[in-house]
Every structure is written in structure tokens, then in C-alpha cells.
Structure 1
């Protein structure tokens, strides 16, 4: 029975990573295929060709992003974007949603942004329990005025799905900055600590 058990677990080690990878890629391709929703029905390749093209949404998404990015990078494109922002920000209700989303996207995707650029070690959810988190910035506005010490905004992701988590504000002195990259820290979180980053260790915990 021992060889059978060994073969079983060896099979799992071989099959499970590949099966999960294929499932994730299938989900991503299916999600990006929905980009076709931004096109008029008459322009859909499914209608023009008479059959569905899997993955066409991925290609279309990349093309749209590149075209919009190239257009918005020149002088005329920047002016058009600014004009569009001004129009949208004058529409009640819409402006509050758009402004919030734009601030988040500017912080996350801007090359000059600092969000998710630094992985830190923090005590969460209580003292003596440590987890990996990410600095997303610093408190501002009324919150910054009420916090008298040097605080930073921290995102504590959940495992194994890092898209869910908690936003907390901690003293900078309570955060231990790690040498590992954000990608390595995400792999560490998603793998529940199984995939240990091969990078220099941080200083000893206090």
C-alpha cells in the first residue's frame, strides 16, 4: 500500500499545479473576452465571422490599452483626457464615483506612485502575531490631523486570496520593512508561507 500512497501524492504534486494554472488562465481569458461588450453588436467578430474566437478579448484588451495609452501620452491626448475629466466631474453622483476610482487607479498604476511598492512585516491581528503587508501611502486630511505620531497606511491581504484584506493605519516604527520584492511577498502570501522568497532576511524581530 505504501507505493500506491506515494504514487497518489506524487500525482497530485504533478497534476494540481497544472490544473489550477489552466483554470486561472481560463478564467482570465473568459473575463477579458468580455471586453467585447464595449463594441457595438454589429462589430463583434462572433457576428461577423459566425463563430466565437476564444481569447480575442485578450488581444482586443491589449490593443485598446496600447492605443489609448499612446494617444493619452502626447500633448493632444493629454488635453482630451483633461477635458473629459472636467466634463465627468461636473455630473452629480457620477463625479463622486469617478473621482474615487481615478484616485485609486492613479495611485496603483502610476509610475510615480508608491502604492504596493514596499512589503513590510507587521503584528496583525494582535501583538505577537506577525504577517506580511504592504505600505500604500500615508494618512491625509482630517485623519492625519488626529494621528499625532508618524503613521503609514497599510494593506493587510488575506490568504490565499490577496485581493481581500484590511486597511489599517500603523505607526511607522511598528512596521519592519522587508528586502523582498512585492511579487515575492505576494507569492509568499498566496502560498500560505510554503514558497519562501530566496532573498536576504530582514533584521531580527523586536
Structure 2
């Protein structure tokens, strides 16, 4: 019992770290960008602040607003350029040769895509599957269904759900459960902690 409780806390904390870490990296990256842009356009912000007849307490707020506007405008211009054929080609080459090798880049990119709703899940639904054709069941995501009754599923490895195994199973070994993909993914990241919804849904079937 003690070991089970200890393992529960350990895996839950680990899962939380894996979820929070990309967000922390993103915050630090934005803070760094804000500092670089702020330092680069400081003469401009000083000029604007000095020529405004507002109380001194608004100086920092105005300077911050100018920096944020420059960052947003810069992101817009870069995004506009990347939408062109040449810009996309340059970005893809830059990403594959340099950015993809930078530590934490993949996590930051996935986090940004998640926040913006651009990251589409290839998983249609969640299931408990019997990959060994016995009573052992594992968490899986249904990725495709075939006319001959075969179901293709992806079984992720915890706590890193980006790796796993692909199985093509007879539909009788696949038991769909009424659980959101996000909730199932959260339990995988937590090494199984919080799998009650999966088990309870299976019992109802």
C-alpha cells in the first residue's frame, strides 16, 4: 500500500512536470524576447514617453505597450512572410537544420500549437484493447477502422505519449470507451494515474 501511494505521487508529479515544463519554457522564451526587443527599441520608447504629457507613473506602462506592439507586429510580418512560397521554404530549411536541434524547441512549438488550437489530434477516440488476446487491457487511441473488421490503434508509452506501438486488431479485442482523448492522454502522461474514468467506462459496457 505504501509503495502504491508513493508510486502514485511520483508518477503524478512527473506527469505534472511534463505538462508544465513546456509552458515554463514558453514563458521564459517570451520574457527573453521582450527583453531583447525592449532593449533594441529603447531610444524609440524614450522618445515617445518624453514627448507625452502624462504622469510619470504611466511611463513604464506606455513603454511596455510599445514593446508588445512591436513584438505583435513583428510576429505578424514574419507570419505573413512564412505564408509565401519562398518564406515557407526558408522557414522549413531553417527549422530542419537548426531549430529542431535546439533543446526544448519541439516542446515549445507543440505548446504554442496547442494554445492556438492548431494542433490536430490524429486520434478519433479512446479504447481499451486486448493486444495479447487475454484479460490484459491497455489504453489505446483508435486511428483507423477497416472494412474487414480490423481496427488500427496506437498504444502510447508513458509518460511520453509521442512514442508507442501501432497494432492492427480484430474489432472484438477493441473496446471503445466514452472518455475524451485529452483525458486519456493526461492519464498516459501521468503513467496511469487518473485512469478511473477509463476503467469505469469499460465496466458500464
| TM-score after normalising by structure 1 | 0.45
Which protein, 1 or 2, shows the higher relative CO under an 8 Å CA cutoff with sep ≥ 6? Answer: 2
Greater share of helix:
2
| TM-score after normalising by structure 2 | 0.46
